[in-house]
Structure 1
């Protein structure tokens, strides 16, 4: 169970936006307002939408440093 959570956080830390204004940017580096807009309009379906929703929760709770730390410790 914990291994799966760890792997999911590592993937989240290294995931890049595949489309739009922030295409090619790491999800962690995209501003909070972008995620808030998607929350209002609806996140994309599938894996990306779930990751964006997680990133929104991380950002509104001030936990970005956790993702930056994971990104540094677990290089892809």
Structure 2
């Protein structure tokens, strides 16, 4: 896994939708599950959301905690 992706998950904000303005790592898992069923958007945002989906699905949120504290 690319550590730069993890860093982006704790700083990048959702650009649109119900959670517009939220930092990606703070988006609730149920929203990511819904998004995954509809299909993540193309491009970098989609890749980040898919990565976050896998992190939350597998209970790996602790990997983001040290990055959030910086």
> What is the TM-score when the length of structure 2 is the normalising length?
0.88
Q: Please name the residue that 1:51 is paired with.
A: 48
Structure 1, gaps ≥5 residues long: none
- Which structure has the bigger radius of gyration? 1
The DSSP-based 3-state class of the residue aligned with 1:58 is helix
Instruction: Tell me the number of residue pairs that the alignment of Structure 1 and Structure 2 aligns.
Output: 70
Cα RMSD of the aligned pairs, angstroms, is: 1.5
- CA distance in structure 1 between the partners assigned to 2:48 and 2:5 by the alignment: 9
Whole-angstrom CA distance in 1 between matches of 2:5 and 2:26 = 18
For residue 11 of structure 1, the aligned residue among 3, 8, 12 is 8
Structure 2: how far apart are the matches of 1:35 and 1:46?
16
**Runs of 4+ displaced beyond 4 Å:** none
Moved more, 29-38 or 62-71: 62-71
